[in-house]
Amino acid sequence: MLEIKNLHARIGEKEILRGVNLTVPDGEIHAIMGPNGAGKSTLSYVLSGRDGYEVTEGEVIYNGQNILDLPPEDRAAAGIFLAFQYPVELPGVGNANFLRTALNAVRRKRGQEELDAVAFLKLARAAVKSLHMKEDFLKRNVNVGFSGGEKKRNEMLQMALLKPGLAILDETDSGLDIDALKIVAEGVNALRAPDFSALVITHYQRLLDHIVPDVVHVLAAGRIVRSGPKELALELEARGYAGLEAA
Amino acid sequence: MTALPTKKLEAWRYTDLRPLSGISFVAPPVGAAPALPDLGLPRLVFLNGVFNAALSSPFAFARGFAPVAEDSALPLAQINAEQAHDGATLHVPAGVDAGTVLLISHATGDVPFAFHLRHRITLGEGARLTVLEIAKGEGIYWHNPVTDITLAANAALTHIRVQEESRAAYSLATIRASVAASASYEHFTATIGGQLSRTEIHAALTGPGALAHLNAAQLLNGTQHGDFTTVVAHKAPGCASRQTVKSVLADTARGVFQGRIEVARGAQQTDGFQLSQALLLSPGAEMDTKPELEIFADDVKCSHGATVGALDEEQLFYLRSRGIPEAQARAMLIRAFLEAALEPVTQKEARTLLEAAINNWWVQP
């Protein structure tokens, strides 16, 4: 379970998150919607431990542990996975090597046995196939020369292999065509389980047609200003975000 | 002894040999037998600059050493000529593939000493050879080797050097290669050791279709100074040359790349390219890059590029967010940075040796 309590965070002098309260119980998928500049990406970076964001107040408890003092790699091992809005290109790093290094680092910290090259490749090939990706995906450099859709699929491949307990999707739908959107949705839906939860951060409602959330939250000006059932997303789509900040 | 070059010479602008002139080097003591890597390859071992038959293994294409006679405009080569009395002489006859040979130099002594090896590599028409050179040592010494290479038409020499000299050593290597028509000289140097080091290569492409790749990776930290200087002379039409130099510099280390491409009148359809990229891991590190193109033909393709940068914070975060610990993530990105220079090194043993040397570099203090 993820519990965010009165979370304040800033970049430099600029306060972006101004007291976020949010609880995501195990097994649930929550969507966070909101206008540009509301703090959606900041929230995902603060949760995953990126440098440059200063938490001034509040706490984030994941499965009983305050994660704010943990470096990003330990949060990943604890089960938190951030699907990037703009996945980073890594020239000179082969995808298979990257995936295996990540998987084994996480397995090591989780007290599981590391996978040898053969066992890893078997697992990775199966995951590639189930995401309808080409076999050569594993041989290419990480995200280098990938189309927008391929990059997002690669995020889903990493997620499938790392098996997180909490997935944070940071506007993963931005710039995706409908087929790629479905792949992302399938990636998340395939992980649905009583011990898996997800925070789906999105500007638009359309991703939520494919990943149906249990709860929709509206983030505006650094606070959660409304929460409701999945129909809230439709209402936002129809009426826009105007007026919500005052709510 | 011929005087050492000074910074007044354009070719020595970035590398100051004054620390060297302040040391009185003695003749090398008798070398102690070190632990040598067993790569299952024929090898020629030099201890403190003297051939050691007991540690070496037979190589059918090695010959005896002949005295040096030369009048060189290169001060270090001239000093070498005055002092050298040993070195490897390899001769591969036309049409023969001689496989791979290891050339090992190991140096160790209690007082500063100098040694000047003179290697000669000659390949007949269509002959092939891979020379894998390893230089290691302990203590203060000056290693001043000269390697003269002559490649006949269609010959192919792959020359890979792993410079892991003592951290207190001065290592100044001069390599001169003459490459005939359709022959190729594939060179790679990994500069890891040495307090002050330089690899200076002069490659002359003398026949149509000749090729020279002069690549390097410099991994330097502390107060190390590493210099990779190349001069490629395109003397015939249709020749190609490439230099890819990658420098990873930590602490207050300094890297230098000077790359000169000379295209003679009549050397049309020359294809020359050089790239110098440096990764500075700390604010005190420095990279000096000096490309020089001297072109006297009108139908040529010559270009150069240089970049200097730090590790990308976004890439680092991406790796860490996938569970990869920070130190390992940094190592992965540094290794990735080197990839383009290492890529042409395909020989199995050389690759293994290089990967090991690079991996060891990360764990150095």
Q: For residue range B92-113, list pLDDT tens digits in order.
A: 999 999 999 999 999 999 999 9
pLDDT for position A245: 52
Is 50 exceeded by the pLDDT of residue A246? Answer: no
Domain count of chain A?
A: 1
Is 90 exceeded by the pLDDT of residue A16? Answer: yes
Q: Which of B90, B77, B80 is nearest to B128 (CA)?
A: B90
pLDDT for position A247: 44
What is the average pLDDT score of chain B?
Answer: 94
Is residue A184 within 8 Å of A169, Cβ to Cβ?
A: yes
Neighbours of B31 (CB within 10 A): 21
pLDDT for position B46: 97
Q: Quick check: A190 contacting B, CB < 8 Å?
A: no
User: Range of A34's domain?
Assistant: 2-246
* CATH label of the domain that carries residue A82: 3.40.50.300
* Angle at the Cα of A114 from the Cα atoms of A109 and A118, rounded to 5 degrees: 155
pLDDT for position A176: 80
* Residue range B256-267: mean pLDDT, rounded: 96
Q: Quick check: B320 contacting A, CB < 8 Å?
A: yes
Query: Token pair for residue B250?
Result: 């930590």
Q: For residue range B12-62, list pLDDT tens digits in order.
A: 999 999 999 889 999 999 888 888 878 889 999 999 999 999 999 999 999
pLDDT bucket at A206, cuts 50 / 70 / 90 = confident
* Residue range B195-203: mean pLDDT, rounded: 98
In chain B, residues with a C-beta closer than 8 Å to the C-beta of A93 are 332-333, 336
Q: Which of A45, A46, A50, A86 has the most B C-beta neighbours within 10 Å, making it the best mutation to test the interface with B? A: A50
- Using CA atoms, how far apart are residues B80 and B208, in angstroms rounded to an integer? 32
Which residues 6+ apart lie within 8 Å of A76 measured at CB?
A48, A102, A106, A162, A164, B320, B321, B322, B323
In chain A, residues with a C-beta closer than 8 Å to the C-beta of B324 are 73, 101-102, 105
- Using CA atoms, how far apart are residues B203 and B177, in angstroms rounded to an integer? 5
Mean pLDDT lowest among A2-11, B162-171, B337-346: B337-346
Q: For residue range A149-188, list pLDDT tens digits in order.
A: 889 899 999 999 999 999 999 988 777 888 888 888 988 9
Beta bridge partners of B230: B201, B259
Question: Closest partner residue to A162 among B323, B329, B333, by Cβ?
Answer: B323
Is 60 exceeded by the pLDDT of residue B280? Answer: yes
Q: Quick check: B338 contacting A, CB < 8 Å?
A: yes
- Using CA atoms, how far apart are residues B281 and B334, in angstroms rounded to an integer? 10
pLDDT for position B359: 81
In chain A, residues with a C-beta closer than 8 Å to the C-beta of B320 are 49, 71-73, 76
* Residue range A42-65: mean pLDDT, rounded: 95
What is the average pLDDT score of chain A?
Answer: 92
Q: Which of B277, B315, B321 has the most A C-beta neighbours within 10 Å, making it the best mutation to test the interface with A? A: B321
pLDDT bucket at B363, cuts 50 / 70 / 90 = low
